[in-house]
Chains A and B, each alone.
Chain A
């Protein structure tokens, strides 16, 4: 099974800052990598697919990059509503999918 490792597990930043969350796969997954945002008590929200493609309606301050084993989710101009836990997820194997451990983003 592919293992997904996210770092950091949590971070705290101020409004207007730029933050980066990294996700590493245990093997080459090309660009089969998606990102989700989850706020407590809410349905998780699909943000980015295929490593760098923004889902419709997602603010442009979110961006994704990477390929192979190393990926990054960047949030520019951090806003209060971005406080959430972010998960990466691989879909390299069409019969089994794994998530990263999550990164909790706090606004100072």
Chain B
């Protein structure tokens, strides 16, 4: 059974770059037809889809966030990552990594999430 675990700094200063990593265990990140996805949840708000990377390496991003976000994969470590430029307080949230299926729109397996606070 696949497991996903997010890691990263709990605190980031405004205008800096947020970097998060998702370590995948129980399956190879290069196998199957999966979409390796990031979703976030600001405090008191609902879930927001950030973007995804397909097994082939192609990426798709939330068009409302597109220019600030990059998703990449490290096959040797079975990890995928999220980089978010120029963060603001509005980016304070719980960030989840997810394995998606069904064209990328069914969020099948989730990590527990990691809290990121943007503050000086």
Interface of A is mostly: loop
Nearest CB of B to A45, in Å: 8
Given A87-B47, A100-B46, residue A94 in contact with residue B96 (CB < 8 A)? no
What residues of A have a CB within 8 angstroms of the CB of B111 in the complex?
43
Which one of A44, A89, A102 contacts B96 once the chains associate, using CB atoms below 8 Å?
A44
Cβ-defined contact, A34 with B96, below 8 A: no
B108 sits at the interface (CB 8 A)? yes
User: What is the 8 Å Cβ interface bit string for chain B, positions 44-63, against chain A (1 contact, 0 not)?
Assistant: 00111100000000001011
Cβ-defined contact, A101 with B106, below 8 A: no
Interface size in chain A (residues, C-beta < 8 A): 24
Cβ-defined contact, A43 with B46, below 8 A: no
A49 sits at the interface (CB 8 A)? yes
Cβ-defined contact, A91 with B102, below 8 A: yes
Give complex CA distance A89, B110 in Å: 15
Cβ-defined contact, A89 with B107, below 8 A: yes
Give complex CA distance A101, B64 in Å: 18
Give complex CA distance A96, B78 in Å: 25
Give complex CA distance A42, B110 in Å: 9
What residues of B have a CB within 8 angstroms of the CB of A59 in the complex?
none
Cβ-defined contact, A43 with B105, below 8 A: no
Cβ-defined contact, A44 with B62, below 8 A: no
What residues of B have a CB within 8 angstroms of the CB of A46 in the complex?
106-110
Cβ-defined contact, B106 with A96, below 8 A: no
Cβ-defined contact, A36 with B46, below 8 A: no
Nearest CB of B to A105, in Å: 15
What residues of B have a CB within 8 angstroms of the CB of A43 in the complex?
4, 96, 109-113
B26 sits at the interface (CB 8 A)? no
Cβ-defined contact, B105 with A91, below 8 A: yes
Cβ-defined contact, A95 with B46, below 8 A: no
Residues of B at the A interface (CB closer than 8 Å) are 4, 46-49, 60, 62-64, 96, 102-113
What are 20 A-B pairs at a CB distance below 8 A?
A41-B112, A43-B111, A43-B113, A44-B47, A44-B96, A44-B107, A44-B110, A46-B107, A49-B106, A87-B46, A87-B47, A89-B105, A91-B103, A91-B106, A94-B103, A94-B105, A96-B62, A98-B49, A99-B48, A102-B47
